[in-house]
Amino acid sequence: MGILRLGYLHVRVTDMAEARKHYIETMGLKVTAEEAGKVYLKGWDEWDHHSVVLEEGGVGLAKLGFKVQSEDDLNTYENNARTFGATVERMSKGEELEVGQGIRVTTPSGHVVELYNEITYLGNEVGYLNPYPFPRHETGISVPALDHMLIMAEDVALNEKFFMDTFGMYAVEQIRPEIDSPARIATWLSAGQKNHDIAIVSGKDKGLHHFAFQLEDWSKILRAADIFAMDDVSIDITPTRHGITRGTTIYFFDPAGNRNETYAGGYRAYRDRPTTIWTPEHIGRGIFSHSRELNAAFTEVYT
Amino acid sequence: MSVLTVLPDNVSVRAKPGETILAVLSASGYGYRIGCRRGGCGICKVDLREGEVYYDHPVAESVLSQEEIAAGAVLSCRAVPVGDVTIELRDERLKLNSALLRSIRAVKAPTTKE
């Protein structure tokens, strides 16, 4: 049945104590495991063992993982990756803590993507029998779950093709240099009904633009920005809307300078949805719907 | 209280102990090219012309290498001046964001360039 969602990502942080404070106290993630130099975290509405793993030392993305539905999917994606000509290897059970066997693929952009179908189940914090809508005692902005991420690639069109051909994703929105151009400035790709599970923007290979956490709605976005001010979080873009995906957002940075996002709303996507196309003269409104100005930070600032 | 001088504008402002270069310039009403403000993106690098700085946070080698440090590069969002320091911006000029803040911190008006 294919890719279920962006399951986890490992992000490097220069100072673990500050990173813990940010991701645990401000974002509201919970620690599920610790190893030397690594902290495993999950949101309150996630049932799998972890979604965000902090790795001490450096900045930027170490790797990411997509959870797939079955072992057959692993075989399919392994074959697809080989056919595409990508580097692919088998991952044995436990190589990723609490995760079963899987495959590890390197994208043309050099990003390491792991696929797996088994991970230790912990359950969410409200349970699944007659639950209340959220946990009674929340911490910080209390993000329920990881949502999506945006990576940088020197050849966006090639990497878009890779994610479509190898992982069966479809393009929901694109920025093209010209309406009919086969080239891509950016692309938003979905594996299911999210309007994007992963997006790719033109930049240096291996780069991490941001990873995003779900929030319920616009009022939670406002509250999050208030809490960021209290916690001296470096805010990149104050609450606004993206023209692309129509989601409401805040861009901000963790204490190591990795960009995070809180994301709410936006439309539901379907595989038969016509791809929305943006042209360069409207990129500003596409990215930031109100200011309608593409700031230098969007394309030049990342880890 | 020490003095931070910024080239090529030749603007001098007062720096309080422990403030980063970015914090000093922001408090003085000046803007320049910055990114994450947390030492991760490296876009706010400037060049040290005189004086010394220290870092109050660990800085990733991938962001600021030993070779760059040896050549005088400074990550301005994390670098804290030790005494009087002169830096030079890279291919840009300071932008005045607040004349009010400048009036509080400035020790020397910018030299007019003809």
Measured between alpha carbons, how far is B6 from B84 in angstroms, rounded to an integer?
11
Measured between alpha carbons, how far is A73 from A132 in angstroms, rounded to an integer?
34
Q: Is A148 a catalytic residue?
A: yes
Tell me chain A's radius of gyration from C-alpha atoms.
18
User: Which residues are paired to A186 by β-bridges?
Assistant: A175, A201
Measured between alpha carbons, how far is A88 from A25 in angstroms, rounded to an integer?
37
Q: Is A242 a catalytic residue?
A: yes
Residues of chain B with pLDDT under 70: 108-114
Measured between alpha carbons, how far is A35 from A55 in angstroms, rounded to an integer?
10
Tell me chain B's radius of gyration from C-alpha atoms.
13
Of B33, B38, B61, the CB nearest to A257: B38
Residue range A4-62, pLDDT digits in tens: 999 999 999 999 999 999 999 999 999 999 999 999 999 999 999 999 999 999 999 99
Of B36, B58, B60, the CB nearest to A253: B36
First CA to last CA distance, chain B: 32
pLDDT of residue A198: 98
Residue range A46-59, pLDDT digits in tens: 999 999 999 999 99
Considering the candidates A46, A210, A263, A302, report the single residue annotated as catalytic. A210
pLDDT of residue B114: 42
Q: Is A137 a catalytic residue?
A: no
pLDDT of residue A238: 97
pLDDT of residue A295: 85
Q: DSSP 3-state assignment of B87? A: strand
Of A58, A297, A302, the CB nearest to B62: A58
Q: What is the mean pLDDT of residues A174-182?
A: 97
**Complex confidence, ipTM:** 0.91
Q: Topology of A3-116 in CATH? A: 2,3-Dihydroxybiphenyl 1,2-Dioxygenase; domain 1 (3.10.180)
pLDDT of residue B53: 98
Q: Is A261 a catalytic residue?
A: yes
CA distance A142 to chain B (A): 23
Which structural domain, as residue segments, surrounds residue B77?
Answer: 2-108
Q: Quick check: is B113 in a domain?
A: no
Per the CB < 8 A criterion, the answer to whether A24 and A41 are in contact is: yes
What are the domain boundaries of chain A? Answer: 3-116, 146-300
Q: Quick check: is B114 in a domain?
A: no
Which CATH number covers residue B65?
3.10.20.30
Taking the CA atoms of A288, A292, A296 and A300 in sequence, report the sign of the dihedral they define. Answer: positive
10 Å CB burial of residue A180 (0-12, 13-18, 19+) is exposed
Of B37, B43, B63, the CB nearest to A59: B63
Percent of chain A residues past pLDDT 70, beyond the cut: 100
pLDDT of residue B109: 56
Contact B36 A236 (CB under 8 A): yes
Considering the candidates A8, A77, A251, A263, report the single residue annotated as catalytic. A251
pLDDT of residue B110: 53
Q: What is the mean pLDDT of residues A91-111?
A: 98
Contact B35 A303 (CB under 8 A): no
Q: What is the CATH number of domain A146-300?
A: 3.10.180.10
Contact B38 A254 (CB under 8 A): yes
pLDDT of residue B1: 82
Q: B90 — contact with chain A (CB < 8 Å)?
A: no
Instruction: Say how many domains are in chain B.
Output: 1
Task: Find the residue in A nearest to B59 (Cα).
Answer: A14
Q: What is the mean pLDDT of residues A135-140?
A: 96
Task: Find the residue in A nearest to B57 (Cα).
Answer: A15
Single-letter residue type at A229: A
pLDDT of residue A298: 87
> What are the chain A neighbours of B63 within 8 Å (beta carbons)?
59, 257
